[in-house]
Chains A and B, each alone.
Chain A
Amino acid sequence: MPPRSRTRSVATGFSLEGIFQVMFDAAKNSLQQNVRSKWPKIRDLTTASIKDIAQNFIDIKELSDSGAITQEQAKLKISLQKNAFQTMLLTEKGIGLIIVEDALNSALNAVKKVVNTAVGFVLI
């Protein structure tokens, strides 16, 4: 009895290698698309925010050194900048997770198609 054709499985996509490739390609495409569309906006916004926050730190020091604001006021202003920076990092974290989530779901959707094609009906 001849060995079962491995090529046939790969052709239909229902082999470990085939499924891995389908999932990997879908995840890769999703990541590439999202990094192209979502990331530049966040990167630009983040860069501008970091510049503004850095400038604010310099301005706070100048105002404090000249005696225009008290030490307590300087501390309040620095805490405000820290909060803004942390909020920015949380947004970056959230957008990063959304991008990863899209990639995972794209991979799962791709393998759904492979399974349904392999069994010949809509199983999942």
Chain B
Amino acid sequence: MKKLLFFFIVGVISCSEVRLVGAYDEKVDDGIQSIAKQVSAIFVDIDKKIDQQKDWSYPNYVEQYSKIETEIKTLRIRTNGLSKYEIVKGQLTLLDSSMHLLQRDHQSGFVAPGVTDVAVLKKSIAIDESAIAKSLTMMLELQEGLKRKPVSSAKK
């Protein structure tokens, strides 16, 4: 009985360590940080342009949105090749959806036609910004948690 227990334990432990979530990947972390910077840049620019009464309409930001979309797609492709990355993949899918929603709101002008009150416009934009900033903060928080494992153990 004791021998059986011994071999069972040796067998179990020899199966190396338990992994429930994938290892930290620096490129994914950097990618999310880069997206966070670009999204912030859009909101800061829109805010400045509203104050300066310049054109903050959607067509002026198509290129920036497109760059962010490309980065999200690249990250989704990268995470598809990483094992046990379902949680991060889920977050990227949600971020992609959020960026599309933001673009649609931007295209619509953020407020109802005819509304000219700057305070109302800024409040409407702030609601979107707050939601996306929360998403990105939470994604980066998970990346911090994943740092428990060496980068080299990530499946590239």
Within 8 A of A (CB), among B137-156: 137-139, 141-142, 145-146, 148
List chain B positions with a Cβ less than 8 A from chain A: 5-6, 9-10, 12-14, 17-21, 87-88, 90-91, 94-95, 97-98, 101-102, 104-105, 108, 110-113, 115, 117, 120, 123-124, 127-128, 130-132, 134-135, 137-139, 141-142, 145-146, 148
- Is A108 in contact with B17, judged by CB distance below 8 angstroms? yes
Q: What 8 pairs across the A-B complex have the smallest Cβ distances?
A: A80-B131, A91-B138, A84-B131, A84-B134, A87-B135, A104-B18, A97-B20, A91-B142
Majority SS of interface residues in chain B? Answer: helix
A: number of interface residues (CB 8 Å): 49
List chain A positions with a Cβ less than 8 A from chain B: 14, 16, 19, 38, 41-42, 45, 49, 52-53, 56, 59-60, 63, 67-70, 72-73, 76-77, 79-81, 83-84, 86-88, 90-91, 93-95, 97-98, 100-102, 104-105, 108, 111-112, 115, 118, 123-124
Q: State whether A98 and B111 are in contact (beta carbons under 8 Å apart), knowing that A80-B132, A124-B13 are contacts in the complex.
A: no
In the complex, 15 of the A-B residue pairs with CB atoms within 8 angstroms, ordered by the A residue number, are A42-B141, A53-B131, A56-B130, A68-B115, A76-B101, A76-B108, A77-B128, A79-B97, A80-B131, A86-B90, A87-B139, A95-B141, A95-B142, A98-B21, A101-B18
Chain B residue at smallest Cβ distance from A118: B6
